[in-house]
A and B are shown apart, each in its own frame.
Chain A
C-alpha cells in the first residue's frame, strides 16, 4: 500500500519536554511538508523540504525543528521553546501540483 504514515496518532507530553513526531512516505515524492492545524485557523505551514538534506522554514517555524536525512522520512521535533504546542499536526508529501496528507498526530501538552 502506498501512502503516508504518521505516528503516534495521539501524543501527550509535559511542559518543557521535547517530542518528535514521525512522518514516513513510500510514494517516492521529493517534497515533504509539516502543517499545524488549530480550530478555525485552517492549516499553517511549519517546515518543508524539497530534497534530501535540505529544508526551509514555513510561516510558523519558531519552536520547531526538522531533519531530512532520507527521502522517505521527515520527522518534526516540537521543542520546549514552542509556546502553545497543543494542536493537530499534519504531514504531507508532494510531486508536481498535488500534496498528499497523512492521518495526523494530535499533540496535547499537559
Chain B
C-alpha cells in the first residue's frame, strides 16, 4: 500500500514570490507521482506527473516538481506565483504498473496575496 503526506495544510505567499508545496510518499514498490489542482467547487485538474525518465517535470503554467527517490519526495515549486494560482493542490501516488488506483494526500491550500 502507498501513503502520501502533505505537511502544510495552508501556504500563504505574496504575489511574485517563490513557493514550494511539500509532498512525501511511502511505498514498498515503484511509484508514479502526480500533482492535481482544485479551484473552489470544481473537480481536480492534472498539473503534472512523473512516470519515468527525467526526475524534473514541468507544467505549462510554470510549476515544476522533482522526484527524489532517496528522500521519497515530490515537492511542487514555482519561482513566481500569481493571484490566479490560488487553489488547493493535491499530491497523489499510484503503484507503477497499477496506475489505476490513486492515493491522495490531504491537500495544501495555496493562497496568493496581493
Contact = CB atoms under 8 A, between A and B. Distances in A.
Interface of A: 4, 6, 31, 40-45, 48, 50, 90, 92, 94, 96-104, 106
B45 A101 contact: yes
A97 B104 contact: no
9 contacts: A40-B106, A42-B105, A48-B100, A92-B44, A98-B46, A98-B99, A101-B36, A104-B41, A104-B43
A42 B106 contact: yes
A98 B49 contact: yes
B43 A43 contact: no
A106 B41 CA distance: 8
A44 B107 CA distance: 12
A101 B44 contact: yes
Contacts of B100: 31, 48, 50, 94
Interface string B74-114: 00000000000000001000100001111011110000000
A92 B45 CA distance: 11
A27 to B, nearest CB: 14
Nearest to B90: A42
Given A44-B104, A96-B99, A103-B42, 10 more contacts: A40-B107, A42-B104, A42-B105, A42-B106, A45-B102, A97-B49, A101-B43, A101-B44, A104-B42, A106-B41
